[in-house]
Structure 1
């Protein structure tokens, strides 16, 4: 009589391992994609914070409104302010505007957060652009994302098109408001 064998053959085990490996690779790739998406979302949130930060600073100093846009676009290491306007220091409106720009640019370029000599905060390759037309204020933040996008600026405002260099990784955040 033939003997009935219990257990798995080597072929069955190999097929199971292949199926398990394909599933694990899929899960690993999904994890990488979700991490990238999460990081891009974090950068968008940072850009929103920086844009709203300078708008709030401008609202506190409306007499200098047009002068905030004079040196736009802002990128790279910030120029030092002529006076530190914090800790109860008495500053003119012009000195306050210089300090506002210095602190804002230090934040979005990562100068405010360092690990040794390396900037660890801010956005990668950022540009901050301020446009003022009467009481209309437009702030555009542009930076380089980690993934390629379609790279087209069709449908965006002229403010966006003129802020930063056009490339297939350009990310933007634009906000418009009125300050009286």
Structure 2
């Protein structure tokens, strides 16, 4: 009669279940996976906030473009370069809007443009030899600037052309 060594020691043999080491390894793998998901969630939230700021700036710029498009063409030519105007939107971000209008121009250029909404920027017309204007045309540029919570400066610039529907050259 031969007996198993475990039976001789009086320990019952039970191979069912997990050992403590296996449980600890499984918990470590789960923890690493959860930390990865948490970091992805953080970047998704930051991306959504940045996207909201860009969307808001684009909407603010489009609002000014629509106002200038609804202005009679003769009054539009009298519009001086607008001084920067502030607009605060919920979320604590301050946006600054600036617009320029150049008459008899299709392509506008901003002298010494540093992509800001500074008051010293002056527009000029970029001549295009391949373009012939059949009706009076004005170039319109609107820029919205803001500083994010990290102190980084951002801007959105929209360009448009406004022509006189009733005019001829």
Compute the TM-score of the two structures, normalised by the length of structure 2.
Answer: 0.61
Moved over 6 A (4+): none
Compute the TM-score of the two structures, normalised by the length of structure 1.
Answer: 0.58
Q: Which has the higher helix share?
A: 1
Task: Tell me if 1:140 matches 2:147.
Answer: no
Contact kept, 8 Å, 1:36 with 1:146, in 2: the verdict is no
* Runs of 5+ unmatched residues, structure 2: 7-12, 104-137, 164-169
User: Does the C-alpha gap of structure 1 residues 15 and 66 become closer, same or farther in structure 2, counting only changes over 3 Å?
Assistant: farther
What is the alpha-carbon distance in structure 2 between the residues aligned to residue 49 and residue 73 of structure 1? 16
What is the alpha-carbon distance in structure 2 between the residues aligned to residue 67 and residue 13 of structure 1? 77
Q: Which has the higher strand share?
A: 2
Offset of residue 174 of structure 1: 0.7
Question: In structure 2, what is the equivalent of residue 153 of structure 1?
Answer: none
Question: In structure 2, what is the equivalent of residue 14 of structure 1?
Answer: 24
Contact kept, 8 Å, 2:57 with 2:95, in 1: the verdict is no
Offset of residue 146 of structure 1: 4.3
Number of aligned residues: 118
Q: Residue deviations 1:122-169, cap 9 Å, x none?
A: x7131111112211111011112345xxxxxxxxxxxxxxxxxxxx61
Question: CA RMSD, aligned part only?
Answer: 2.2
Specify the structure having the higher radius of gyration (Cα).
2
Offset of residue 57 of structure 1: 0.8
* Runs of 5+ unmatched residues, structure 1: 76-107, 111-119, 148-167
